[in-house]
Amino acid sequence: MHVSSLDELVGFLHARLDEDAHDAHLFHELACPCSVTPMRSAGCACPCPASLLAAVRVSEGILRRYEQQLERERQCGLVWPLESSLVFAVLKAMALPYELHPAWRDSWYP
């Protein structure tokens, strides 16, 4: 396992979560005025965009926490200790829903 693989996976996850956050505003209820002209509207009461954004924020928080942990380990000079291996496994599981994306790597299967 290489550190570059982990860094690539983290970058991949950041990019997918950014895309998910950007695309969340496309999912409105049919009666919502935003469904005709998709836009981010503070007045929109559709539950789906808010739910999608909340899920993205949770995933971003998990990813950020693991990145901080990995950075602390790197600063201490640890290379692939048990914790980093566990983090890699969790991040691979987080990336699995995106396995059909062209940037996906088969080595990321959990």
Write down the residue that tokens 């999912």 correspond to: 27
Please check the confidence at residue 94 and state whether its pLDDT lies above 80: yes
C-alpha distance across the termini of the chain, in Å: 13
Please check the confidence at residue 93 and state whether its pLDDT lies above 70: yes
State how far the alpha carbon of 18 is from the alpha carbons of 4, 53, 79, in Å. Answer: 21, 10, 29
- Pairwise CA distance, residues 74 & 66, whole Å: 12
pLDDT at 74: 78
- Give the number of domains in the chain: 1
- Pairwise CA distance, residues 9 & 27, whole Å: 27
Domain that holds residue 68: 3-108
Please check the confidence at residue 82 and state whether its pLDDT lies above 90: no
